[in-house]
Structure 1
Amino acid sequence: MKLCGNWPVSSEHGCGARSEMPFGARHGPVQWMTEAASFEVQVMSFFRALLSGRSVRLATFLALVALTLNGCAGLFGGDPVRVNVAGIEPIDSQGFEMRFNVKLRVQNPNDSAVSFNGVSLDLELNGKPFASGVSDQVGTVPRYGETIVNVPLTVPAFAAVRQAFAFVGATESGQIPYILRGKLAGGLTGTTRFIDQGTLSLPSAGMALP
């Protein structure tokens, strides 16, 4: 081995060629530890970037959504509201239609209040559609409480004529079966559907339509 300046060269080659240093000589233990430490720093920097700024806000948002959904699940697991017809009053009609104001008594048997921002009703008599109505009334049924909801119902002229004949046939028994279907819309609990059914008692002399 010869020296060409400060560089070792092999005996076969002149000063124009440098000998290659062994791999272990160029990458000693100290250099490997330095590279490993540098890699660890890069990994930690990457995770810090994930946990900062926009990522933190996203994680917070997802946590709030999870809490909200858990709260809604508790509301959905409650008992259904109870709805009964508290009264029916005639109101001004238009043309050949008949209109009634139906008073609904809504009871909430749950530990949480039920909010609503709309009501829809469908009334069947003798198994046939008879009247329907909607209302944009907004309200809240308190926990273990009740409230009265007013919904105007419209009876189309054809349905009124058809039911008039049914009333004549029902005077013998004096009873007409009815089914009232509806829904309360709105709030975190979503749409609450209900159904009420029973019989209407008619006077012995028949029932006069308004």
Structure 2
Amino acid sequence: MNRQTRRPIHRRRLLALLPAGALAACAAPFAGPPPPRVSIIDLRPTDATMFEQRWEALLRVEEQAGTGLQIDAMTAAIEMNGREFGSGRTDRPFLLPARGEREVSVPMRGSGLGMVDQLATIGRRGELKWRVEGVFLSAGRQIPYQGEGTVFSLRDTLRDSLLPF
């Protein structure tokens, strides 16, 4: 096989691989700006029945990209110590300034036994860890976010109080 005969074969192979490469590029994750950071400031009970609790979750939203963001709506789901605590949504639009922060109130609903379950879990584990995740809706886009932290750890508190320094 001479060199001229091999060229069309290589071109055909290259042309056959182009659509696959284009699909792979589309499937790659979009490397956009980082989503806003969200943390829980407070959870306030607003109503409780045997089967459902209502809460007002006060969340701190921090813009990290330095561009600012107009938020049209926001969803939030909270877990405490790995168990579902509640979920909710706010449709109140707000402006998140560049490198700024905003406190946002999100009405939430959860199981009526959720708090009892959480108190039992805290007693067994000796700590209270939280996780919040959801989606910001901004100009027709959905921007997922998640955050987590520890409110307190009995082990850390005891360790710190027993150390002489």
Bin of the TM-score, shorter chain as denominator length: 0.5 to 0.7
Amino acid at match of 1:104: L
Cross-structure match for 2:137? 185
Higher relative contact order (CA 8 A, sep 6+): 2
Unaligned runs of 5+ in 2: 1-30, 155-165
1:106 equivalenced with 2:106 (yes/no): no
Tell whether the 8 Å contact from 2:79 to 2:132 is kept in structure 1 after alignment.
yes
Length-normalised TM-score, structure 2: 0.64
Please identify which structure carries the higher strand content: 2
Tell whether the 8 Å contact from 2:54 to 2:107 is kept in structure 1 after alignment.
yes
TM-aligned CA deviation for residue 90 of structure 1: 2.1
Tell whether the 8 Å contact from 2:129 to 2:152 is kept in structure 1 after alignment.
no
Change (3 A) 1:156 1:138: same
Separation (CA, whole Å) in 2 of partners of 1:77 and 1:157: 39
SS in 2 for 1:89: strand
Separation (CA, whole Å) in 2 of partners of 1:165 and 1:147: 33
TM-aligned CA deviation for residue 150 of structure 1: 0.7
Change (3 A) 1:107 1:96: same
1:167 equivalenced with 2:122 (yes/no): yes
Separation (CA, whole Å) in 2 of partners of 1:121 and 1:166: 22
Cross-structure match for 1:135? 90
Separation (CA, whole Å) in 1 of partners of 2:112 and 2:48: 11
Q: 1:120 aligns with which of 75, 82, 86?
A: 75
1:151 equivalenced with 2:99 (yes/no): no
Structure with greater Cα Rg? 1
Separation (CA, whole Å) in 2 of partners of 1:149 and 1:100: 13
TM-aligned CA deviation for residue 112 of structure 1: 2.2
CA RMSD, 1 decimal: 2.3
Separation (CA, whole Å) in 1 of partners of 2:56 and 2:107: 4
Amino acid at match of 2:148: Q
Unaligned runs of 5+ in 1: 1-75, 204-210
Change (3 A) 1:89 1:158: closer
Separation (CA, whole Å) in 2 of partners of 1:80 and 1:181: 11
Q: 2:41 aligns with which of 69, 86, 89?
A: 86
Length-normalised TM-score, structure 1: 0.52
SS in 1 for 2:48: coil
SS in 2 for 1:143: coil
TM-aligned CA deviation for residue 187 of structure 1: 1.6
Aligned length: 124
Separation (CA, whole Å) in 2 of partners of 1:90 and 1:157: 11
**Same amino acid, percent of matched pairs:** 24
TM-aligned CA deviation for residue 94 of structure 1: 4.5
Cross-structure match for 2:148? 197
